Amino acid sequence: MFIKSIDRWFCMKLEGAVAFVTGASSGIGRETALALARSGCKVAVGYNKGAAAASAVVKQCQLHAPTIKVKIDITSETSVKRALTLVRKFGAVSILINNAGILVEAPFAQQTFKQLQAQINVNLLGTMRVTHTFLTLLLVSNEAVIVNVGSVISKEPYVNLTAYCASKYGVRGFTQTLALELPSTIRVYCLNPGLTATAMTDFEGIRPSKVAEVIVRTVKETLRKTSGDDIDVPDYV
């Protein structure tokens, strides 16, 4: 049931592991933080806006495991490095969930370049920025897992979501290539939700908690997947 290398099976142990989740004040990130805490992980709840909502998530997570709140703007190298300093005090990170993202739905010609650029900067470059910075902590863990939240439309284009699609295609390519470079102690997966009931989709789609369940299964590495693989949420819910 576990990922197989040349000489052993991989299986992440969640009890006591330190997990950092970006975009964790609401939606998929919130439910993922809660699910990981229930599984025994120490959770660093990353948020940019919505401090009160993030505090509420921390309070709920603390019912199950030690939890801290970490403000982070993933478009800012300074902010990401500051977050690293805070999380480092919590312990060596062995689970990184790159969940934060934004979406603008409109024809390409009707979006401003600022809107197009923002989606690339948050969804793709933000994921790369956080991963690059946090690798210093991941590398000192005995085992580590990175989950990059992509989308089912990172595999198929969708009208009026040009920049969003481009950013998520990029996340998928980044995941696949990073998997080739990382040591076997760090595995990375591209988690592709379908339509999910969050503020981004006007709360249409499946419950974020169902996506979080798949993320936890991904982190546990019980889905017969190899580092770099896609994990398409609709296949598991």
- Cβ(134)–Cβ(96) under 8 Å? yes
pLDDT digits (tens, 9 = 90+) for 113-123: 999 999 999 99
Catalytic residues: 164
Q: At 21, which CATH number?
A: 3.40.50.720
pLDDT digits (tens, 9 = 90+) for 13-53: 899 999 999 999 999 999 999 999 999 999 999 999 989 99
> What is the rounded CA–CA span in Å between residue 202 and residue 235?
23
pTM (global) more than 0.85: yes
Q: Which residue has the higher pLDDT, 172 or 10?
A: 172
> Domains in the chain: how many in total?
1
Alpha helices in 63-126 (DSSP H): 77-88, 113-119
pLDDT at 203: 72
Does the pLDDT at position 130 exceed 70? yes
pLDDT digits (tens, 9 = 90+) for 81-116: 999 999 999 988 999 999 999 999 999 999 999 999
- When pLDDT is averaged across residues 62-88 and rounded to a whole number, the result is 97
**Which residues span the domain enclosing 83?**
3-235
